[in-house]
Amino acid sequence: MCLIDKASAQTVFSENDPRVTLHTKLANEEHYSYIMENPRENSCFGIKHNSILNTLAYFSVSDNFVFDLVHDILEGVAQYEVKLLFEYLNRNFISNENILQRVYAFNYGFMDKNNRPMRINMFCTGHSIGLNASQTLCLIRNLPLIFGDVVPEGDRHWHLLIILLHIINIVFSPCIREGMTVFLKHLIVDHHRLFKDLYPQNNLIPKHHFMIHYPECIRKIGPLLHVWSMRCKAKHKFFKSSIKNFKNVTKSLAKKHQIAVAYHWESLSTKGIESGPVKTKIPTDVENGDLILEHFQIDLLSETNVTTIMVLNITQVLWFAQILFMKCQCSARLLASF
C-alpha cells in the first residue's frame, strides 16, 4: 500500500502525512524493473515480482487494493486494545476475576448468544485474548454495557474504546457515504494519537497502520464489509472439520461437500420459505407472464400466488421467488436460462 518504515508507522496517523509514499502505478513499474535487475533486494518495496494482472489493459494492482476487517480489526486491533483495557481495569478498578465474571455472566441477547465470548485468555502470548472474530465483535460492542458502571466519567482509556467503537461502526457498515470517510479519517487520527499517549511503551501494530488507508480504500472500492474474509472462513470451516482421511484430499472434500449440500436441500422445509399474506396476480397480467406459465406449467386462467407455487419443488421455488422479487419484470433471457 505504501512505503512507510516501521519506525515512522508509530507516528504517522494519516495518509495525508508527507512521510507516506503510496504505491502508484508509475512507482510500481520502477520498483518492478529495479527488482528485475536486483532480485536479491526483493524486500525493499514490499514487492516480490510483477503481477500477471498488470498485463490487463484497464487494471493495475497498485490502484486496486483491499483490506480485510476480520484480520485487521477483529483478530488484530480490537483484541489488542481490549486486552490493554482489561489490564488497565484490573490495575485500577476491578480484579481480573471480576472482569471475567462480568463478561461471562452478561446477557448478550438472542441474536448474539452463539457469539458470546466463551473463554478469554488474559495471558495469551502476543496481542490476542484467545477469541475468534465473531466473539470479538460481540464482546467489544457490548463492553460499554458490561463495564460502563465501573469506569469514572472522562476516563481517557474508556474514551479510546469509544473512538474505536465509532470506527468499527463506520467500517462495518454495509453502506457508507463519502462524507463519512472523511469523518473516519479524523477518527483514526484521534484514535492512534490517543493510543500512543496512553500506551507510549506499546507499539502500534501494522494493522493499526493499515487503518489509515481505510478511508481511501472505501472511497475506491466501497464498504469493506462486502469484501471481508468472514464468508470465506465460514465456508472453509466445513472443509477444515470434515477431513478425516488424507489419501485423496480433494476428492474426499468434494464428495463430502456434495453430500452435505444434498442433505441441506433435501431437509430444507418449504414452511421456512412461506411467508404471510401475499399479493395474488393473474399471470397473464404480468410482463412475460406467458413464459412463466409455460415454465411452471400453470393453467392460463387460474389465479396464482406464491404459496401455491411453493409446493412444486425447491428449485422452482427459488427461481419463482427471484422472479417475484424482480416484480415480475423478468426478461425472456432469464427464463431462457432455465
Q: Given the rule CB under 5 A, which residues bind Zn ion? A: 1-2
- As measured in angstroms, the least distance from the Cβ of 46 to Zn ion is 9
- As measured in angstroms, the least distance from the Cβ of 22 to Zn ion is 8
Residue 14 is given by DSSP the state: S
Q: Which is nearer to Zn ion, 31 or 83 (CB)?
A: 31
Q: Which is nearer to Zn ion, 23 or 157 (CB)?
A: 23
- As measured in angstroms, the least distance from the Cβ of 272 to Zn ion is 46
Extended beta strands in 109-219, E state:
none
Residue closest to Zn ion, measured at CB: 2
The helix/strand/coil state of 284 is: helix
> In angstroms, rounded to a whole number, what is the distance separating the alpha carbons of residues 98 and 49?
52
- As measured in angstroms, the least distance from the Cβ of 199 to Zn ion is 21
DSSP string, 203-239: PPPHHHHHHTTHHHHHHHH--GGGG-THHHHHHHHHH
Q: Which is nearer to Zn ion, 65 or 239 (CB)?
A: 65
Q: Which of 241, 204, 231 is nearest to 134 (CA)?
A: 231
Q: Which is nearer to Zn ion, 1 or 194 (CB)?
A: 1
> In angstroms, rounded to a whole number, what is the distance separating the alpha carbons of residues 259 and 103?
39
Amino acid 27 reads A
- As measured in angstroms, the least distance from the Cβ of 14 to Zn ion is 11
User: Which residues neighbour 224 within 8 Å (Cβ) at sequence distance 6 or greater?
Assistant: 66, 67, 68, 69, 171, 214, 217, 218
Q: Which is nearer to Zn ion, 1 or 150 (CB)?
A: 1
